[in-house]
Chains A and B, each alone.
Chain A
Amino acid sequence: MAATAATNPSQLLPLELVDKCIGSRIHIVMKNDKEIVGTLLGFDDFVNMVLEDVTEFEITPEGRRITKLDQILLNGNNITMLIPGGEGPEV
Chain B
Amino acid sequence: MADKDKKKKESIFDLSKYIDKHIRVKFQGGREASGVLKGFDPLLNLVLDGTIEYMRDPDDQYKLTEDTRQLGLVVCRGTSVVLICPHDGMEAIPNPFIQQQDG
Contacts and interface: CB of A to CB of B under 8 A. Distances in A.
Interface stretch (A50-58, A65-73, A82-90): A82-90
Contacts of A77: 79
B73 A79 contact: no
Contacts of A83: 71-75
Chain A: interface residue count, which band? Answer: 20 to 34
B29 A86 contact: no
Contacts of B19: 8, 11
Nearest to A60: B57
A14 B11 contact: no
A68 to B, nearest CB: 22
B27 A80 contact: yes
Interface in B34-82: 38-42, 45-47, 51, 53, 55, 69, 71-80
Interface of A: 1-2, 4-8, 11-18, 29-32, 47, 59, 76-77, 79-86, 89
20 contacts: A2-B11, A4-B42, A6-B40, A6-B41, A7-B16, A11-B16, A11-B19, A11-B38, A13-B39, A17-B39, A17-B47, A17-B73, A31-B29, A76-B77, A79-B77, A80-B28, A81-B51, A82-B74, A82-B75, A86-B71
